[in-house]
């Protein structure tokens, strides 16, 4: 890791020198939230309920079993969280192949991070089998310094566990790590870990509470994000 850091051509211009980047996956790198919405709708319609923005907001960023528990508690469902998760994953696998799109600016961002040799990885609440499937689509998996999934943590976002693990994987202090997130729970986890946190809300998280974040960016191509990283967006 020290070798990677020594190859920077200049230090970041912000007050904090960013030594590594942790990225959320769903809704941040790939537009999976509409797919999760479809799964939620199908899952609950089978049980005579409707999926809502409020339910999705509470579930975002939480590992699978914990996310299913949100549904069970909110709607008093008789299902076990494990059984509900298995059903939802079966639905998700069926639509993942045809409905997945990268978020605007993803390719450009990873190219700039690679060019500067700034290590980056993914910290997602998704199950590893789905994260692997998504990240292999565009070859991103081979470029990551780490991948931490919901299978690797005991406590999901907004608990800081996943981002404390990310900083450890990068071999840096948490305040030297930049975290990009699209949800309230994800940003709360990053802030609790002590990371420099940037929110990039999507359609399903535009009304989330991002109090305390360093920046609310418009997209992965926001010039202010690149300024924070210490290089120009179109370089």
Q: Which residues are catalytic?
A: 24, 26
Is the separation of the CB atoms in 147 and 135 below 8 Å? yes
Give the residue from 216, 220, 203 showing the smallest Cα distance to 103: 220
Cis, bond preceding 158 (omega within 30 deg of 0)? yes
Residues whose CB is less than 8 angstroms from the CB of residue 145 and which lie 6 or more positions away in sequence, other chains included: 20, 119, 120, 121, 169, 170
Residues whose CB is less than 8 angstroms from the CB of residue 186 and which lie 6 or more positions away in sequence, other chains included: 24, 60, 61, 157, 158, 179
Edge-to-edge strands of the sheet including 120-123? 147-148, 120-123, 20-23, 177-181, 196-199, 215-216
C-alpha span between 58 and 36 (Å, rounded): 13
The count of other CB atoms within 10 Å of the CB of residue 96 is 18
């Amino acid at each position: 890791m020290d070798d990677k850091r020594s190859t920077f051509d200049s230090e970041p211009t912000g007050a904090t020198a960013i030594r590594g980047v942790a990225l959320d996956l769903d809704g941040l790198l790939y537009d999976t939230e509409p797919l999760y919405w479809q799964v939620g709708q199908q899952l609950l319609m089978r049980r005579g309920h409707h999926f809502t923005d409020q339910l999705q907001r509470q579930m975002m960023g939480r590992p699978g079993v914990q996310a299913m528990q949100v549904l069970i508690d909110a709607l008093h469902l008789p299902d076990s969280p494990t059984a509900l998760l298995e059903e939802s994953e079966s639905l998700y696998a069926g639509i993942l192949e045809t409905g997945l799109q990268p978020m605007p600016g993803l390719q450009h961002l990873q190219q700039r991070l690679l060019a500067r040799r700034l290590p980056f990885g993914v910290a997602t609440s998704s199950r590893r089998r789905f994260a692997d499937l998504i990240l292999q689509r565009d070859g991103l998996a081979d470029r990551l310094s780490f991948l931490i999934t919901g299978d690797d943590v005991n406590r999901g976002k907004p608990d800081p566990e996943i981002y404390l693990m990310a900083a450890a994987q990068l071999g840096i202090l948490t305040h030297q790590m930049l975290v990009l997130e699209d949800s309230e729970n994800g940003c709360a986890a990053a802030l609790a870990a002590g990371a420099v946190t940037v929110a990039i809300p999507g359609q399903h998280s535009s009304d989330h509470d991002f109090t305390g974040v360093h920046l609310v960016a418009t997209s992965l191509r926001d010039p202010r994000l690149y300024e924070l990283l210490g290089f120009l967006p179109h370089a």
